């Protein structure tokens, strides 16, 4: 594991979160789920001040977010702030008739940045709420974080593919949806390219999702075969 990844993993484990399944890469940039950061904030006892609205437009919102991490002793509280911004079709893209929730996105980004600062992951990993910017080829943002990472690791693609597959499993809302995903030929191709341990972990992750959705009871009505 590269040095930066070990730093990330060591910090995540403090809050009961594993590296695998929570962190993946977009064009070499480490990205972490928003929901993971929310769990960490709750675990760490981070409290947020009421937000300050910097800019308020129909298609743009800029919000100042301040967070507080309690210390072990009185007077050792840490305070960090950051801006969350969302501008439709610039750093926040919507498609078709999808509604644009610029304030919600700005709040998420601001809070995620503050959480990353307070748990000392800022500069090592970005929130998924900013990952679309990397996918849209924003080289300045990518270079800024790449400076903190070593040369490419042969396991980077596996880590990213694993995280993406687990995200798709999480998004599946029925037993059939998980089954269809895991039996899909492209999914099988991806799984076959994983090391055995990673492949087994993803399959176990899918099985846990099936159980959470009511399997095997619901699966018995579908007549479908082995999902993972």
The whole model's pTM is what? 0.60
What order of strands is seen across the sheet that includes strand 23-26? 23-26, 29-32, 126-127
3 near 99, Cβ under 8 Å?
no
Q: What is the C-alpha to C-alpha distance for residues 125 and 61, in angstroms, rounded to an integer?
A: 23
End-to-end CA distance of the chain: 27
Task: Quote the crossing angle between the two packed helices 175-183 and 185-192, to the nearest 10°.
Answer: 60
Across 156-174, b (16+ Cβ under 10 Å) vs e yields: bebbbbbbebbebbeebee
**What was the pLDDT predicted at 153?**
45
Q: What is the C-alpha to C-alpha distance for residues 216 and 16, in angstroms, rounded to an integer?
A: 29
Instruction: Give, for all 228 residues of the chain, the pLDDT tens digit.
Output: 567 888 899 999 999 998 888 888 777 788 898 999 999 999 999 999 999 999 999 899 999 999 999 988 877 899 999 999 999 888 888 776 777 889 999 999 999 999 999 999 998 999 988 765 555 544 344 333 333 334 344 444 555 677 788 888 888 889 999 999 999 999 998 888 877 767 777 888 888 888 888 887 654 444 454 555
Q: What is the C-alpha to C-alpha distance for residues 14 and 205, in angstroms, rounded to an integer?
A: 22
User: For residue 24, which phi and psi values (nearest 5 degrees)?
Assistant: -145, -175
**What was the pLDDT predicted at 134?**
56
User: Residue 139 burial (CB < 10 Å; 0-12/13-18/19+)?
Assistant: exposed
**What was the pLDDT predicted at 30?**
86
Largest CA distance in the chain: 61
- Six token digits for residue 114: 């503050």
- Six token digits for residue 53: 């609205």
Of the candidates 154, 128, 149, the residue with the CA atom closest to the CA atom of residue 8: 149
For residue 65, what are the β-bridge partners?
Answer: 82
**What was the pLDDT predicted at 162?**
77
């Amino acid at each position: 594991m590269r040095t930066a990844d070990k730093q990330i993993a060591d910090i995540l484990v403090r809050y009961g979160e594993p590296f695998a399944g929570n962190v993946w890469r977009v064009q070499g940039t480490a990205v972490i789920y928003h929901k993971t950061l929310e769990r960490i904030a709750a675990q760490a006892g981070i409290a947020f001040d009421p937000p300050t609205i910097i800019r308020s437009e129909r298609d743009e919102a800029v919000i100042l977010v301040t967070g507080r991490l309690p210390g072990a002793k009185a007077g050792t509280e840490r305070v960090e702030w950051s801006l969350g911004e969302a501008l439709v079709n610039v750093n926040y893209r919507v498609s078709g008739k999808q509604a644009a929730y610029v304030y919600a996105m700005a709040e998420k980004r601001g809070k995620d940045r503050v959480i990353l600062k307070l748990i000392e992951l800022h500069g090592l990993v970005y929130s998924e709420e900013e990952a679309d910017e990397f996918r849209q080829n924003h080289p300045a943002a990518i270079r800024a974080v790449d400076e903190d990472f070593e040369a490419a690791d042969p396991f980077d693609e596996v880590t990213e593919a694993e995280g993406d597959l687990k995200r798709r499993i999480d998004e599946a809302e029925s037993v059939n949806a998980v089954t269809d995903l895991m039996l899909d030929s492209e999914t099988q191709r991806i799984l076959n390219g994983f090391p055995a341990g990673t492949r087994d972990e993803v399959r176990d992750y899918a099985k846990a999702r099936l159980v959470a959705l009511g399997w095997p009871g619901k699966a018995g009505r579908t007549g479908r075969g082995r999902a993972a």
